[in-house]
Structure 1
């Protein structure tokens, strides 16, 4: 098992810090090394302590989150936490791990942790493997990732829609998300993960893909995922 990721929480709102602290304590992959309402103080801690990941608010009086990242100069990975979706594109230009909109649900927080873990604790060979095996009703079935259009979560099952068939996996969507290459797939809704290579068009809160026989169809973009998804595009 890999060492936990040393993380720092920075937000000028005490209640926001309390929520993030509670979330961190529920995730064994994280180790809380500090929390601060003062970004200037927190920036100093980065040089004094082992900090790998920072959950960072944007709108703060002493120093904005964007100014903080400029001063940070990539000495740690960053997950932005904010109530303002309009900063998403700027955030991803700074190569942030994820962009969480407040109020932050634990499921969404955990997805950001999984992304950070893939970036900070990459498993040997994961990025090069073009397939994965999933648990179906009676067997382990190989799925070629290049053929996957999207994944649809249905309680404790996932329907994997490929270019040629539908595969029903006896797994949760979150567990499968952790096995997918982050560069090729995006969680766009609590029930959907999309293969970026198969996106035909995006209009407002709908993603259009090519279905069987070339017939287009659409899936929704959830509000909690919208900023991060558009930032990647």
Structure 2
């Protein structure tokens, strides 16, 4: 199962959503993201939010077209996107994609990046990706991983999310590494590139943010 969640970030940063409309994909809207989906002729199965970013007319359209609406008060402990992601992870999907989660307020962006930790905290095997026009972002725990070259996302960066990441090894990259210890705040692994169709990365301790991007 794939669950696609569209939050209310700037529309100009959204990728082409038609590329993610697999037959088994379930769409979920978050706050103004629900309205963005409807405008793209995608009816979400669920909608989450306090809906403070839509007007009365837009809310009426949402209420008429979406059956599974979860409304919340603005004063709450979780963000709207966090509530939607928690629901999505409880469905035990293989993949969750977050759209409309970048741009706009920096505090929202940083909070959304940290939401990528949710499967790790809950010991949930789902893969969660944050996607916009220029970036695909995901988080990995220690292990050994294979990564495939993407013409549309030339650059690959590895950013520590913990104080340090131990034994980082990159193979098949323009700038390879062997058992390197990198620290929070390091820019050593920014803007690397794959030289082969496939490459690998591995590390033994810490948590890494992996960012695939294009100019």
- TM-score class normalised by the smaller sequence: 0.3 to 0.5
Between Structure 1 and Structure 2, the one with more helix by share is 1
TM-score (norm 1): 0.35
Structure of greater relative contact order (alpha carbons < 8 Å, 6+ residues apart) = 2
